[in-house]
Chain A
Amino acid sequence: QSALTQPPSVSGSPGQSVTISCTGTSSDVGNYNRVSWYQQSPGTAPKLMIYEVSNRLSGVPDRFSGSKSGNTASLTISGLQAEDEAGYYCSSYTTSSTVIFGGGTKLTVL
């Protein structure tokens, strides 16, 4: 099973909004509301930010929001801050009872 498709990179200026897409198939993203988003800074373990499409983990700023339409999920970060610069990964449950990740997106805050 191929990885979910994410753009390799996105960028935005402080205060702006950016959206990262995550495209799968009807066997994963399209079949379940079980999409998660993770933030990873260099040299550190990933951190869960959003789960089950749009639920923020406790402590995650409400600048982070998730959504889904069909086979594509999205993570939107509004009011960009320098500290948001990191790698972002989506994941989804699959009909094979496995978990699949996206290839990752590097967010640059200009």
Chain B
Amino acid sequence: VQLVESGGGLVQPGGSLRLSCAVSGFSFSGYYMDWVRQAPGKGLEWVGRSRNKDHNYITEYAASVKGRFTISRDDSKNSLYLQVNSLTTDDTAVYYCVKVKGGTVASLDLWGQGTLVTVSS
């Protein structure tokens, strides 16, 4: 079972990035998938969620990123994405791709290794 994030890097304030998460080892299409971030030396912050096909791929976001971040998924490619726009220095963090445990809505049972996004001029 693997979740492998990519796409992080250094970006200027106001810039954009698209993060990707490639999944293997479980039936990706059946699960809700989340993004969680962690600023350097800080705690965990839930970013948002993509529900599965059975729940119409509904997306939900934390208030701090709503309107700037967009989560999408491609079940045919077993991949989850996070488009991040209008970045500020407060968005500097490691971004984790996370699987939601089946049958639950708030238990995050599989985590990727994370990809670092640094927002700086």
Contact = CB atoms under 8 A, between A and B. Distances in A.
Do chains A and B stick together as partners?
A: yes
B29 to A, nearest CB: 21
A45 B43 contact: no
B62 interface: yes
A98 B43 CA distance: 17
Given A3-B43, A93-B105, A99-B106, A47 B111 contact: yes
Interface in A3-33: 3, 32
Contacts, number: 66
Given A38-B44, A89-B43, A52 B111 contact: no
Contacts of B60: 97-98
B104 A101 contact: no
B18 to A, nearest CB: 21
A60 to B, nearest CB: 11
B91 interface: no
B104 A34 contact: yes
A52 B105 CA distance: 10
A92 interface: yes
Looking at chain A's contact residues, is the secondary structure mostly helix, strand, loop, or mixed?
Answer: strand
Contact of A104 (B43, B106, B107, B112): B43
A46 B44 contact: yes
A25 B66 CA distance: 22
Nearest to A3: B43
A99 B101 CA distance: 14
A92 to B, nearest CB: 7
B11 interface: no
B108 A48 contact: yes
Interface in B102-121: 104-109, 111-114
A48 B109 contact: yes
B69 to A, nearest CB: 13
B74 interface: no
A97 B114 CA distance: 24
Given A45-B112, A52-B107, 16 more contacts: A32-B106, A34-B106, A36-B107, A36-B108, A38-B44, A40-B44, A46-B44, A51-B101, A51-B107, A89-B44, A91-B108, A93-B106, A98-B46, A98-B61, A100-B46, A101-B44
